[in-house]
Amino acid sequence: MIPKAKGGEDRLIDWLAARIGDGARIGDDAAVLPPGAFAVTVDHQIEGVHFPPGLDPAVVARRLLAVNLSDLAASGAVPRYAFLALAAPAGFDHRRFFTSLLAACRKFGVELAGGDLAKNPDRLSASLTLMGTKAGRRWIERRGARPGHAIWLGGTIGESAAGRRVIERGGVNDGPASVRAAAKRAMRRHLEPRPQLDLGRWLSDQKAGAGLDVSDGLARDLHRLCRASGVGAEIAIESLPLPTRFRDLCAAIAADPLSLALGGGEDYVLLFTLPEGVEPPGAWRIGTITRERKVTMIREGERSPLPDVGWDHL
Amino acid sequence: MIPKAKGGEDRLIDWLAARIGDGARIGDDAAVLPPGAFAVTVDHQIEGVHFPPGLDPAVVARRLLAVNLSDLAASGAVPRYAFLALAAPAGFDHRRFFTSLLAACRKFGVELAGGDLAKNPDRLSASLTLMGTKAGRRWIERRGARPGHAIWLGGTIGESAAGRRVIERGGVNDGPASVRAAAKRAMRRHLEPRPQLDLGRWLSDQKAGAGLDVSDGLARDLHRLCRASGVGAEIAIESLPLPTRFRDLCAAIAADPLSLALGGGEDYVLLFTLPEGVEPPGAWRIGTITRERKVTMIREGERSPLPDVGWDHL
């Protein structure tokens, strides 16, 4: 008989293949996929950079998938295949990580089709490549914004960045119950973002408009959308959708609400444009695309340039 | 005008897009690829794990691409698209890395179509996802080995592992010139493997046979091939292809040649099977596939089980 002394990696891959079930593609040098036109995205999650040290591997796995799914949502794609590169320190609970990842994949209709495992002595680092097929009649791109388009946000902003600060300071343990509840919601929002796949699918069926997901902050990502489309924008600060009790929470953690909303990042909501008169489901209108290539904010009637601030990964 | 204060990441992406040229897909949330059937693979390179600390970023970039290309070669694929997740410490020379990566991509006909950049405080870590289309008439898989097939190796083994040891001990600085030259070749082989894409293309045109690339050592990878195909194998130790002066080099670095050849790993040559009588170009026959599911080595006329030893990424 073939000796049983398989390495830990081979044992883990067998365990995974059994859980993925018939037709599991993992384990070969490359996974062969059926023909199709694909949207492909890749994103990192690194311990101490993208999430707090020591976070439950089950949460890390869900977060990794969610931030990638958000990119596919912003492209108008239906998620199909995932490829994982995982590098973990000694003692990392791989099975807890993969049990959570596979459950999350199943929920979103994603097949884990391949990957690579390695050691990383210092910290957990993972990158996921996701491939999706077209959800509706077209792909969504950044360059589709036209003067006169309305600018929309698919959800509230600033909450994830507030959650990151709450985690860094060890929670909000005093003050009114409503603020403590807002702090908990913010932490959950930061750790487990919810990709807007349904909204992306709806956008992919519209005739016109641009879109992206707000990962590096509204200001920076709006600048990117405008640059890609060769247009400008005007947004009304008063119309920005903020979470319940957001100002109270910011006061409790000594943060500026507007800074978090404009530049905090990791909101993972869709920022998109539509021709005037087209009403998206469950979204907030925040401004209008302009021909003049300036990005302007209007606050208490005053107009000023919206600075290109936000998260910079370098 | 739009403010010029773009972040370092946006500047780097603009710089990259200009170098990739018209139709660059990078910069959107996801890259949209033309329809096709794809083979997809992902591999890591982590500083201090897969390559020595402080290695020239230009070499890291070529190595990252090469080890991934080897997986596509083993699948019978022509490389097409690459997606990079790069996490680097402060001060990393991104432009040197990308200049080298783009040059290597051009050489192999690969388009860098997307990626994600992040900080990693401790060490450089990179993962690359490669997508390829079918090179010949079929994909190559591990499960295609049949009893009676001849077993072949596309190149010499053990040299990369010897090179790793030479690097760890700071080179071979005394002894005969022939051994010092062998040490230099081994270091180069370790740092810059050469993916066997032409051989993979040839194999993809054959009617039958299995294949994979030897990344974790001949013994472990032959066991994997046998398990996937439900067969066994007999290999002749005397027929293993070793590099010139390999035994002398191993003596100089106090390493056992057979251990490096069987279990050293990172050889990045193709291990494949073919029906008896089919002669591959530039390869070495090392044994025969058997019906009995044992993996046996024959050495000086003695038969013994080939242990499932080699590199384990966990």
3-class secondary structure, A215: coil
**Ranges of each domain in chain B:** 9-22+35-134, 142-305
On the question of pLDDT at A169 being above 60, the answer is yes
User: B85 and A123: CB-CB below 8 Å?
Assistant: no
* B123, A54 Cβ separation under 8 angstroms: no
CA distances from residue B216 to B142, B231, B262 in whole angstroms, order as listed: 15, 20, 9
Q: In chain B, what residues touch A125 (CB-CB under 8 Å)?
A: 46, 87, 120, 125
* A145, A229 Cβ separation under 8 angstroms: yes
Q: In chain B, what residues touch A31 (CB-CB under 8 Å)?
A: 39-41
Helices (H), B77-123: 94-108
Q: Measured between CA atoms, how close is A29 to chain B, in angstroms? A: 5
Q: What is the band of A4 on the pLDDT scale with cuts at 50, 70, 90? A: very low
On the question of pLDDT at A3 being above 70, the answer is no
In single-letter form, the type of residue at position B314 comes to: L
* Whole-number pLDDT of residue B15: 85
Q: pTM to 2 decimals?
A: 0.92
Interface test with B, best of A4, A26, A42 (most B CBs within 10 A): A42
* Whole-number pLDDT of residue B34: 82
* Whole-number pLDDT of residue B211: 96
Cα dihedral B36/A68/A137/B21 (nearest 10): -60
On the question of pLDDT at B162 being above 90, the answer is yes
User: B118 and A294: CB-CB below 8 Å?
Assistant: no
Q: Which two tokens stand for residue A251?
A: 């006061």
Which of A113, A127, A213 shows the shortest C-beta gap to B116? A127
* Whole-number pLDDT of residue A28: 74
On the question of pLDDT at B27 being above 90, the answer is no
- H helix and E strand count, chain A: 9, 12
* Whole-number pLDDT of residue B3: 33
ipTM, 2 dp: 0.90
User: A118 and B33: CB-CB below 8 Å?
Assistant: no
* A42, A129 Cβ separation under 8 angstroms: yes
Report angle CA A118, A122, A125 to the nearest 5 degrees: 50
Least confident of A61-75, B32-46, B234-248, B289-303: B32-46
Number of Cβ within 10 Å of residue A48's Cβ equals: 17
Q: Measured between CA atoms, how close is A253 to chain B, in angstroms? A: 26
Q: Measured between CA atoms, how close is B272 to chain A, in angstroms? A: 13
Is B37 exposed, middle or buried (CB count within 10 Å of its CB: 0-12, 13-18, 19+)?
Answer: middle
Query: What would the DSSP string read from start to end of A291-314?
Result: SSS-EEEEETTEEEE----S----
- What does the pLDDT average to over A285-306? 96
Q: Which residue has the higher pLDDT, B15 or B136?
A: B136
- What does the pLDDT average to over B195-216? 96
Q: In chain A, what residues touch B2 (CB-CB under 8 Å)?
A: 223, 226-227, 232, 293-295, 308
- What does the pLDDT average to over A87-115? 94
Average confidence score pLDDT of chain B:
92
- Percent above pLDDT 70 for chain B: 96
Query: What would the DSSP string read from start to end of A147-201?
Result: TT-EEEESS--SHHHHHHHHHHTT---SS-HHHHHHHHHHHHHHHS----HHHHH
- The dihedral sign for the CA sequence B289, B293, B294, B295: positive
On the question of pLDDT at B1 being above 60, the answer is no
* A71, B30 Cβ separation under 8 angstroms: yes
CATH topology of domain A8-30+37-134: 60s Ribosomal Protein L30; Chain: A; (3.30.1330)
User: B44 and A129: CB-CB below 8 Å?
Assistant: no
Helices (H), A21-136: 57-75, 94-108
Q: Measured between CA atoms, how close is A245 to chain B, in angstroms? A: 31
Cα dihedral B261/B265/B266/B268 (nearest 10): 60
Interface test with A, best of B29, B33, B235, B308 (most A CBs within 10 A): B29
Q: Measured between CA atoms, how close is B36 to chain A, in angstroms? A: 5
Q: Which two tokens stand for residue B246?
A: 């390999």
On the question of pLDDT at A102 being above 90, the answer is yes
Task: Render pLDDT for A192-225 as a digit per residue (tens, 0 to 9).
Answer: 999 999 999 999 999 999 999 999 999 999 999 9
On the question of pLDDT at B164 being above 70, the answer is yes
* B172, B183 Cβ separation under 8 angstroms: yes
CA distances from residue B227 to A28, B146, B216, B269 in whole angstroms, order as listed: 12, 12, 15, 20
3-class secondary structure, A88: strand
* A264, A258 Cβ separation under 8 angstroms: no
* Whole-number pLDDT of residue B2: 33
Which of A40, A115, A122 shows the shortest C-beta gap to B122? A122
Q: What is the band of A314 on the pLDDT scale with cuts at 50, 70, 90? A: low
Interface test with A, best of B94, B127, B227 (most A CBs within 10 A): B127
User: A123 and B119: CB-CB below 8 Å?
Assistant: no
- What does the pLDDT average to over A66-71? 96
Query: How many whole angstroms separate alpha carbon B60 and alpha carbon A212?
Result: 32
On the question of pLDDT at A167 being above 60, the answer is yes
At the fourth CATH level, the homologous superfamily of domain B142-305 is: PurM-like C-terminal domain (3.90.650.10)
Which of B8, B72, B312 shows the shortest C-beta gap to A314? B8
Query: How many whole angstroms separate alpha carbon B275 and alpha carbon B210?
Result: 10
* Whole-number pLDDT of residue B308: 86
| Contacts across the A-B interface (CB distance below 8 Å) | 260
CATH 3.30.1330.10 fits B9-22+35-134, yes or no: yes
Q: Which two tokens stand for residue A16?
A: 């995974």
* Whole-number pLDDT of residue A2: 33
User: B39 and A33: CB-CB below 8 Å?
Assistant: yes
Nearby residues of B18 by Cβ (< 8 Å), 6 or more positions away: none
Q: Which residue has the higher pLDDT, A36 or A1?
A: A36
